[in-house]
Chain A
Amino acid sequence: MTILSIQNLRTQFAMRAADVVAVDDVSIDVEAGECIGIVGESGCGKTTTGLSIMRLLPGNGKVSGGKILLDGKDLALLSEKDMQGVRGNTVALIPQDPMTSLNPVMRIGDQIAEGYLIHRGASKEEARQRALEVLRMVEMPNPEERLNQFPHELSGGLRQRVMIAMALVCEPKVLIADEPTTALDVTIQAQILDILDNLRVELNMAVILITHDMGVIASRTDRVIVMYAGKVVEGADTKTLFTKMHHPYTQALLSSVPKIEDVAGGRLSSIPGLPPDLSKTIVGCRFAPRCAYATDECRENEPPTEIAGEGHTYACFHPTNGFTPVEVQINEARKVVDAVEPLMKVTNLVKEFPIRGSNIFRGSVGKVSAVADVNFEVRKGETFGLVGESGCGKTTIGRLITGLEEVTSGKIEFTHTKTDGLKKGELRRALAQERQMMFQDPYASLDPRKRVGDIIREPLEIQKRLSKTQMNDRVTQLLSEVGLPLAAAERYPHEFSGGQRQRVGLARALALEPSLVIADEPVSALDVSIQAQILNLMQDLQESRGLSYILISHDLAVVRYIAHRIGVMYLGKLVEVGPADEVFSRPFHHYTQGLLNAVPVADVEIARTKRGDQMKGELPSAVNPPTGCRFRTRCPVAAAVCANEEPPMVELSPGHTAACHFPLGGTPVTIGSQDK
């Protein structure tokens, strides 16, 4: 039964220069109890589609055409007051960021109960009971206590459970989940998506899952709509879309996703260019400028929507049929890694942050053990990947190596730079030439008032070793190396896209020709197609310059794709280190296994077989970490010895070490199997 039918929806935003049509002629039918995914890059109109249904567009946006039929009634014709009766009652929304989507000054219980009070006319006590009931439905630990807590007392994962509970309180027929797990760790993501799945079946809800993550789409949806520049370019059931896609954009999107199950580090195919500017009139197919198959026909006429089969539609003149076998280019950089010359060594690294008490004199009442006795080395020309859930200490390690934080104890040594006897300023300048950082958020990490050229030049000016002309030459050379036009030097960061800014960030990091670049989530703020461009660029530069990287990321697929060796961190401890392929295919530590199980795979067959067995619980507090093995509280095989004795790091196969009393034995694990 079709519960929601969107027909020829058109949504536009009034901008200063012109009206931007963000959603253009979009039609989607949603059946009761089904999960339909909307996927596409940022700016493709997927979120706007969701907000159009709820009529929650920002002030300058409006639905200017089409119908939104809910149970046969057109929502577009409802008065604002009637629409209030629909929101949160028959159609509910789970927004992207649970950290900012809860009212900070209102108790959890009141926030959840509010919808029930409004729509069901319930008494305060009834609404409170209902709030408790839905908190239990979303498997919230200690639900009674939560009712009286405020949002800041909960972790991100728990807050997202609250958001789901809030959306479910009136048992809506349609649930719009807009990137519901993007802000969460993979292990928590898996828990949240499981809850959503179970409740969808239990309540026979239709779920519209808006996401950019192909893995989430593959594992959770029944049907998929692919959007590009405000249009639906392809729609099909999930399996068909992943195997027999017809639109080149779908194909390109899927090829640019790094896949965790890939064994060899093939080069990612990226989509050249950027999506079109929607404030300008577009002639022809919107994807044509970036499409490998585009012809003059595509550039002149807009392709009509064709029907390929049962529920499979696409809009393209030159449909493909599934993946065209792409020539796998074996990644040279990855092969060079036989080089074993150590570049940097970290010994017994410890970082503790004091906690100031709320007592009168704010004395130190404890400490957060952010990094606890970590040892590893990075070799010349290799990429060392650091992975783990947020709060595991991976970013702190990056900051310690870059000198942005001071170590509590332990050593960070570079083979080629002797630091003994150097004065503070000399030390800073010497180490600046050894390691540089590439930051996570390209929007926040570049000074908006400086020209790009000046941003790249600044490290050189601090070193005072080059003449003015030499510095200018260096900037010019760096810009061309990272693939930016020379004119970029005279422009300001806001004139560039996210991907281009990250190129600037990389150029700045390379200005002093460091031997090591610490890249902290370098692509997590970028769309997949752009992400592939940056990752490929990083590899090219590694090859041409013999660079080493420490790649810090929560995205295991990205790390798998680019790293030669991987370190897995859990709650301040390094629990497993080894060659990338081995860590991913034959992990020793149960935590590594758990992480791998939680990663959504962008492949329908694999994704469907690996559901169900997920790591339970959340990361414990680093203030009082568990005794012995820190992972024991979430470990499936924990025994008494794990609580009493901290497992030492042991080499279990050549170059592959793990800290576990009961290692998995290195038996080959195909991704998705659940043998323990």
Chain B
Amino acid sequence: MIGYLFRRLMQGIAVLFGVSFLTFLLPALEKGNVARAVLGNHASPLELKEFLHSHGLDQPFFVQYYHYMIGLFHGNLGTSLNPQTIDEPVSQVIAPYVPRTLWLVLISILFSTVISVVIGLFQGIRRNTIFDHSMTFLVFLLYSFPAFLFSTMTIILFSLTLHWFPPAVDSPTANGWFSPLVQMWNHPNQFVLPLATLTVLGVGGLTRFMRGSILDTMVQDYVRTAKAKGCSPNRVLFRHAFRNAVLPVITILGLSLPALFGGALITEQVFNYPGMGQLTVQATEARDVPVVMGLTLLVTVATVVGNLLADIGIAVADPRIRLTGKR
């Protein structure tokens, strides 16, 4: 199993290399535009040339990439081009925003997993009942709502009309790894709407998946074997079917990570929560290419790590992988 996980890790690292190259490729090929974007339309050719030189953008492509990669290995992602944070290291600019989004995403994954597994499970065993049909309808409705519409509507309904929850999150006062958790603990009502939005984003697909998975599992021969042994319906479901049905869900969870970061981008903007999503929007508007590159790389890392965690989860839950190292 160690070998299996090590191979997965190596594959993840290879993916990181690939993505780092691609993120580097875009601005490097568009270096003239980058300079113009930062200096403005009225900059003189000399100013543009100086800018390119001072940022090392006039060097040959592979030399630039070499310096970029060397920098990466030293944790140096370049410096910001945003006038407000000009010349600050990218890592320093990004750092405070990471834990905020991370916790938001992790907690919403937890919620959406629990909700999806429970709803999907009951839909599966009560197939074609009114419960199943209404849940299918509801889930598809939520699934097809875009995040910006859903979050705006929750604000209109729950904060502006009903005044149950505030429409925005207060600006964080601390920048520690766990300070977002502390903030959530202290002001839970501020986080209900953003968390609900992100959770709903994940629930749609996962519920459908879990329903299908449990339906597939319930017609397997080993489930009939369990019934033939005299197991009660609950025992059949929870001792025999459930674990087999959840296995594929673990993989899907790992794959759903990037979508949630994408969702966070909009949700944070709507609820004015200063996370990675909001930073991405700011950096893009300010043509702060190094920060956007850094953020992209970070989301890639999160995706790779998420998939690795899913692989570990499967390896623990499925003896066929645990013992043989392959399927």
Contact = CB atoms under 8 A, between A and B. Distances in A.
A444 interface: no
A88 B225 CA distance: 9
Contacts of B221: 95, 97, 100-101
A92 to B, nearest CB: 7
Given A103-B240, A150-B319, A166 B229 contact: yes
Contacts of B3: 357-360, 362
A114 B243 CA distance: 17
Contacts of B235: 118
B232 interface: yes
A104 interface: yes
A211 B219 CA distance: 22
Interface string A86-129: 11110011010100111111100000001100110000000000
Interface string B206-232: 000000000000011110111111111
B319 A87 contact: no
Contacts of A119: 230
B323 interface: yes
Nearest to A153: B323
Interface residues of A, number: 37
A305 interface: no
A87 B317 contact: no
Interface in A126-152: 150, 152
Contact of B230 (A85, A102, A105): A85
Interface string B292-327: 000000000000000000000000011110011110
Given A87-B229, A115-B230, A358 B319 contact: no
A95 B229 contact: no
B230 A56 contact: no
The interface size bin for chain B is: 20 to 34
Contacts of A88: 228-231
A356 interface: yes
Contact of A150 (B220, B239, B323, B326): B323
Contacts of A100: 220-222
A84 interface: yes
Contacts of B320: 104, 150, 152
B194 to A, nearest CB: 37
A250 to B, nearest CB: 30
B319 A89 contact: no
B6 interface: yes
B317 A105 contact: yes
A358 to B, nearest CB: 3
Contact of A92 (B7, B228, B326): B228
Interface in A510-565: none
A114 B324 contact: no
Interface string B1-34: 1111011000000000000000000000000000
Interface in A412-454: none
Contacts of B247: 105
B244 interface: yes
Contacts of A106: 239-240
Contacts of B325: 358
Contacts of A58: 219
A379 B231 CA distance: 58
8 contacts: A84-B230, A84-B232, A87-B230, A89-B230, A92-B228, A100-B220, A119-B230, A150-B319
The 6 closest A-B pairs by CB, nearest first: A358-B325, A88-B230, A88-B229, A87-B230, A93-B228, A100-B221
